[in-house]
Homo-oligomer: A and B are copies of this chain.
Amino acid sequence: MNETIRVIKENQLFESINENDIQKILKCSNSVVESYHENQAIFEKDDTIVEVGIVIEGKLNLVSQKYSGTRVIVTTLEQNDLFGEALIFCSVKKSPYDLVSSGDSKILMIPYSIFINMCSELCDFHKQLINNMLTILSDKIIMLNNKMSILNAETLRGRIAVYLLTLQKKTNAFIFNMPMNRQQLSEFLNVTRPSLSRELSNMQKDGIIEIYRSTVKIKDLKRLQALAD
């Protein structure tokens, strides 16, 4: 269990909670570490989710079962990734995906009840746990809203503009590095890689940006902003 705590004390869910109190939470909530092996399912589509999980060791694949029967990996969860946090609280708790272990893995499963029943001692760390959960859910909403505002842009140039402006704001600089390669960025913006390359080149020709590999320089902020509107 010490290994578990060493991992999860870095998790946002346990922020500002010390190791002793984390231990109490795990005990009080009847949390357990479960072991899974290659291809074993943690849960399947339409299962009712009543626990949140944290990956302690190994990797998990979140798998979408297509109508055609083909299976597509939606995302991969690694050490300290949290899952199930939206499903356990929402009105319809059925999972839309399978969650499958990729190789051997260990997972901490935390039952639902710890988040809705305060213990009678009214411990401060229990409040903090729920507060952390509220922050995690809210941050996810903000992140999804930001992603939506990118996908809602009318043109690819607009999407690029919104994306670059968020980086400009975050770094507070006019020269910065993009944290994704072209393939990843094109998937994030929901276009093909050659389309993205072409448009970045066009924007460079038009004097809006300069770009080489992952390094971007914003040359005409006003026009970039106009594109993002």
Chain A residues close to B by CB (< 8 Å): 66-68, 70, 85-92, 115-118, 120, 122, 127, 130-131, 133-135, 137-142, 144-145, 147-148, 151-152, 190, 222, 225-226, 228-229
Our pick among B70, B86, B122, B144 for the contact of A138 (Cβ within 8 Å) is: B86
Most-contacted residue by chain B among A91, A115, A138, A226 (CB, 10 A): A138
Residues of B within 8 A of A139 (CB): 90-91
The smallest beta-carbon distance between A70 and chain B, in angstroms, is 7
Residues of B within 8 A of A225 (CB): 67-68
Our pick among B116, B131, B144, B147 for the contact of A116 (Cβ within 8 Å) is: B131
- The reply to whether A142 and B86 contact each other, CB–CB distance below 8 Å, is yes
Q: Could you list 11 further interchain pairs (A-B, Cβ under 8 angstroms) beyond the known A116-B131, A137-B138?
A: A67-B226, A68-B225, A86-B138, A88-B138, A89-B134, A89-B138, A90-B135, A91-B139, A144-B148, A147-B148, A148-B151
Complex Cα distance, B130 from A66, in Å, reads 36
Q: A141-B86, A144-B145, A225-B67 are in contact. Are A134 and B115 (CB under 8 A)?
A: yes
Complex Cα distance, B87 from A44, in Å, reads 32
Complex Cα distance, B127 from A130, in Å, reads 11
Residues of B within 8 A of A147 (CB): 148
- The reply to whether B122 and A68 contact each other, CB–CB distance below 8 Å, is no
Complex Cα distance, B212 from A30, in Å, reads 55
Most-contacted residue by chain B among A90, A225, A229 (CB, 10 A): A90
- The reply to whether A67 and B228 contact each other, CB–CB distance below 8 Å, is yes
- Minimal Cβ-Cβ distance residue in B for A123: B118
Residues of B within 8 A of A229 (CB): 66-68, 70
Can you give 29 contacting A-B residue pairs, CB < 8 Å? A66-B229, A67-B228, A68-B226, A68-B229, A86-B138, A86-B145, A87-B142, A89-B131, A89-B134, A89-B135, A89-B138, A90-B135, A90-B139, A90-B141, A115-B134, A116-B130, A117-B127, A118-B118, A118-B122, A120-B122, A130-B130, A133-B134, A137-B138, A141-B141, A141-B144, A147-B148, A148-B151, A151-B152, A152-B190
